C-alpha cells in the first residue's frame, strides 16, 4: 500500500474465492494489524475477481483505499493510500476427502503407555484395570479413535506397540515393543485385534518406566519417511499415543515431533486419568509454534492432544470429533506444502 508518506509491502496472502464471490458489497477492508485484536481501519476499496485477475507481470491493478469517516469529515480528503495488486491467481484447494478418494492410504499405529504411574493393573484404582464389564479408559480410547480411522485404511492391519514396561523373556524395559510380541509382524487385524492383543499382553508384562515418547514417534516417522520418498499423495501416517501424562523425555520428544512435522504424519495424544497434562498441552503447540530444544520450529502443527476426562460423560461421538478434528487439515497442509495433488481427481476438479 502506498500513500504520500509510506510504502508498505503486504506480501502474498490467500483468500477463499467464495469470500469474494459472496461479499455483498464486494469490498476489501484494509486494517493496521494489532496483536491484541484492536485492528485500526485504514480504508476500503471495492473490487471483484475479474478485476483482480487483470493484475500480472509489470501491470499491477490499483485501487484507492478510502476511509469512509475521513472522507465524510474532510472535503480535501482523497484517499488513505493506493493498493497495488501485482498478481492474482486462482489455485484449486483440495479437501481431505479429495485425497482419500484419490487413493491416499491412512496408516494407523497405536502406542500404549505401560509405565508404573498407571498403577497395578490388578487394582481397581489402576488406569489399566479392566472393569467387570470389560473396559477401561485405554480400551475406550482405542475403540473411539480406531473405529473412525479404520474406515480410511483399506487393509485394516494396524501396528500396535507398548512402551515403558519390562517385557519377557529378559524383562528389560522396552519403549516400543510389539503388543502381540511379534516384532517382525506387529500388525493387528482391525481394532478388535488391537483390543485382543492389549488384553493378552497386560498380564504378561510388568509396568515400569520411564515414560519416553520419542522412540515410538521416531519408529513411525521412519515409515513416514519411506512413504514421503514416493513423492505422491499416496501415504499418510497417524500415530495414536494413549498415556497417563507423565513424560520423561520431553526434549527428545520435541525434536522427534519437529522432525516428523516435515513428513506425512500426524500424532494424536489422548491423556487418561486425572493428571494435569501440562507437557501434553505444550506439545500440542496450540498456543504457538512448537520448537525443538535448539530452537528449530515445527514445519506445521501435527499434534492433537485431548484429555479423556473431558469426555467421560459425553456421547462417544463427541470424543471422536474432538480427537480427529485436526487430522484432515494436517493431511491437506502436508500435501499442499509439497505441491502434491490427489493421485486421482474427480472430473469437476481436473486441472
Instruction: List, in sequence order, every residue forming a beta bridge with 265; answer none if it has no partner.
Output: 237
Least confident of 27-31, 76-80, 220-224: 27-31
Task: Quote the CA–CA distance of 327 and 321 in Å, as a whole number.
Answer: 10
| Tens-place pLDDT, residues 93-133 | 899 999 999 999 999 999 999 999 999 999 999 999 999 98
> What are the grid coordinates assigned to 147, written together?
473405529
Taking alpha carbons only, the member of 120, 164, 160, 129 closest to residue 142 is 160
Task: Quote the CA–CA distance of 123 and 131 in Å, as a whole number.
Answer: 10
Helical spans, DSSP H, in the chain:
17-22, 49-52, 68-73, 96-101, 137-149, 190-201, 214-228, 250-260, 278-284, 316-323, 327-337
Report CA-CA distances (Å) from 45 to 27, 64, 75, 157. 6, 6, 19, 55
CB of 112 closer than 8 Å to CB of 161: yes
Q: Helix 137-149 vs helix 316-323: angle between axes, to the nearest 10 degrees? A: 70
Mean pLDDT, the chain, integer = 89
Hey, which bits of the chain come out as E strands? Answer: 27-32, 40-46, 61-64, 82-85, 105-113, 157-163, 165-167, 172-174, 177-178, 187-189, 206-207, 235-243, 265-271, 303-307
In the prediction, which pLDDT does 17 show?
73
Least confident of 82-91, 128-137, 153-162, 178-187: 82-91
CB of 306 closer than 8 Å to CB of 144: no
| Tens-place pLDDT, residues 270-328 | 999 988 888 898 898 766 789 999 999 999 999 999 998 888 778 878 887 888 889 99
Phi first, then psi, for residue 26 (nearest 5°) are 50, 40
Return all residues near 281 (Cβ < 8 A) that are at least 6 apart: 287, 305
Task: Quote the CA–CA distance of 165 and 31 in Å, as a whole number.
Answer: 56
Report CA-CA distances (Å) from 164 to 91, 216, 274, 305. 47, 11, 19, 20
For residues 10-23, give the mean pLDDT: 70
Domain ranges of the chain: 17-85, 96-337
| Tens-place pLDDT, residues 233-267 | 999 999 999 999 889 999 999 999 999 999 999 99
What's 96-337's CATH class? Answer: alpha beta
pLDDT band at 4 (very low <50, low <70, confident <90, very high): very low
CB of 146 closer than 8 Å to CB of 139: no
Least confident of 33-47, 185-199, 227-241: 33-47
Task: Quote the CA–CA distance of 92 and 101 in Å, as a whole number.
Answer: 16
Q: Helix 137-149 vs helix 190-201: angle between axes, to the nearest 10 degrees? A: 160
Return all residues near 133 (Cβ < 8 A) that are at least 6 apart: none
pTM listed for this prediction: 0.81
Instruction: List, in sequence order, every residue forming a beta bridge with 2; answer none if it has no partner.
Output: 7, 82
Per-residue DSSP letter, 264: S
Amino acid at each position: 500500500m502506498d500513500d504520500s508518506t509510506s510504502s508498505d509491502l503486504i506480501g502474498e496472502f490467500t483468500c477463499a474465492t467464495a469470500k469474494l464471490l459472496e461479499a455483498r458489497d464486494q469490498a476489501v477492508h484494509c486494517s493496521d494489524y494489532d496483536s491484541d485484536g484492536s485492528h485500526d481501519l485504514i480504508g476500503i476499496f471495492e473490487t471483484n475477481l475479474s478485476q483482480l485477475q487483470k493484475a500480472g507481470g509489470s501491470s499491477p491493478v490499483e485501487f484507492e483505499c478510502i476511509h469512509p469517516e475521513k472522507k465524510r469529515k474532510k472535503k480535501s480528503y482523497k484517499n488513505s493510500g493506493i493498493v497495488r495488486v501485482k498478481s492474482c491467481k486462482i489455485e484449486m484447494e483440495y479437501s481431505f476427502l479429495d485425497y482419500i478418494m484419490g487413493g491416499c492410504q491412512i496408516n494407523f499405529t497405536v502406542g500404549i503407555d505401560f509405565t508404573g504411574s498407571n498403577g497395578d493393573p490388578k487394582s481397581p484404582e489402576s488406569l489399566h484395570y479392566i472393569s467387570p464389564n470389560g473396559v477401561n479408559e485405554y480400551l475406550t480410547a482405542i475403540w473411539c479413535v480406531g473405529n473412525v480411522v479404520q474406515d480410511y485404511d483399506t487393509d485394516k492391519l494396524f501396528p500396535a506397540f507398548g512402551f515403558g514396561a519390562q517385557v519377557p523373556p529378559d524383562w528389560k524395559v522396552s519403549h516400543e515393543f510389539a503388543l502381540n510380541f511379534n516384532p517382525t509382524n506387529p500388525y493387528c487385524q482391525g481394532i478388535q485385534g488391537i483390543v485382543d492383543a492389549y488384553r493378552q499382553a497386560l498380564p504378561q508384562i510388568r509396568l515400569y518406566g520411564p515414560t519416553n515418547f520419542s522412540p515410538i514417534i521416531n519408529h513411525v516417522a521412519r515409515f513416514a519417511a519411506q512413504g514421503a520418498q514416493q513423492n505422491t499423495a499416496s501415504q499418510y501416517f497417524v500415530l495414536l499415543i494413549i498415556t497417563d501424562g507423565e513424560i520423561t523425555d520431553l526434549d527428545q520428544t520435541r525434536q522427534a515431533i519437529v522432525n516428523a512435522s516435515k513428513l506425512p504424519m500426524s500424532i494424536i495424544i489422548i491423556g487418561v486419568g486425572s493428571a494435569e497434562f501440562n507437557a501434553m498441552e505444550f506439545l500440542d503447540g496450540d498456543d504457538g509454534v512448537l520448537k525443538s530444544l535448539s530452537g528449530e520450529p515445527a514445519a506445521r502443527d501435527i499434534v492433537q492432544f485431548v484429555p479423556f476426562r473431558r469426555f467421560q460423560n459425553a456421547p462417544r461421538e463427541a470424543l471422536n470429533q474432538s480427537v480427529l478434528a485436526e487430522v484432515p487439515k494436517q493431511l491437506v497442509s502436508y500435501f499442499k506444502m509439497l505441491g502434491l495433488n490427489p493421485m486421482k481427481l474427480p472430473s469437476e476438479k481436473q486441472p
